[in-house]
Amino acid sequence: MRVQRALARAGAVSRREADQAVADGRVLVNGQVALVGQVVDPARDVITLDGAPVKTHVTAHRWIVLNKPAATMTTRKDPSGRTTVFDLVDDVPGLVYVGRLDFMTEGVLLLTTDGTAAHALTHPSREVERTYIATVRGDALAAAKRARQGVQLEDGLVTPRDVQAHPLGARRWAFEITIAEGKTHEVRRICDALELEVERLIRTSFGPVRLGNLPSGEARALTAAERTVLDAIISKEQLPKA
């Protein structure tokens, strides 16, 4: 991997800070000043930042399942000082999120120290199913019927794997939808196209990982069964070139 990524993955600095550190000549690889974009082997090369060794070799990756609350940023740091998902989990070097949830969207969010796996799980070729429940106002029954035929968005047609609508009372509905495309703001845009007003949006599952009874803002480790299924998804045929 490139030296900047190795530094960021080790948690020594952010990716942007890693780029600058290499450009400034503060990073050495095996005693030599690193070059921008230089490829390194974290398992063999000795990397230092400002003279201090950086532990880049990871022997066992960490996986965390977080029930992301609303009004939480899916980012490492927020310039406005808002709470981020990293404020809610252990400070693990090299931890990254698997896909992004909107600021107000709640529910299942995976985090891992395995950047390669994170990329694989969010790549369209893997078609990882994600289930959401949106609390909506509008004609949800008609919307569900329309959605099963496919919803045309500005960046393409979306055909959900499953759509259900359940009455909640007071003219509100639980609009449950399973998708696999992973487009930006996809569920909210689908609801908008179907003339549904979203009051709340929760991701209840990501692949084999289900929210269950995990309280909002709390985290847990990945189970062995979940890890087995994720490993099978990750190990599918090589990703096509972008």
Single-letter code of the amino acid located at 76: R
Query: How many H-runs (helices) and E-runs (strands) does the chain carry?
Result: 6, 15
What kind and span of H or E run contains 21? helix 15-23
Q: Please say whether the beta carbons of 6 and 42 come within 8 A.
A: yes
Q: Please say whether the beta carbons of 61 and 112 come within 8 A.
A: yes
C-alpha angle 94/98/101, rounded to 5°? 120
> Could you give the CA distance from residue 117 to residue 139 in angstroms, rounded to a whole number?
39
> Could you give the CA distance from residue 91 to residue 111 in angstroms, rounded to a whole number?
12
- Beta partners for 176? 133, 164
Residues forming the active site: 102
> Could you give the CA distance from residue 66 to residue 216 in angstroms, rounded to a whole number?
8
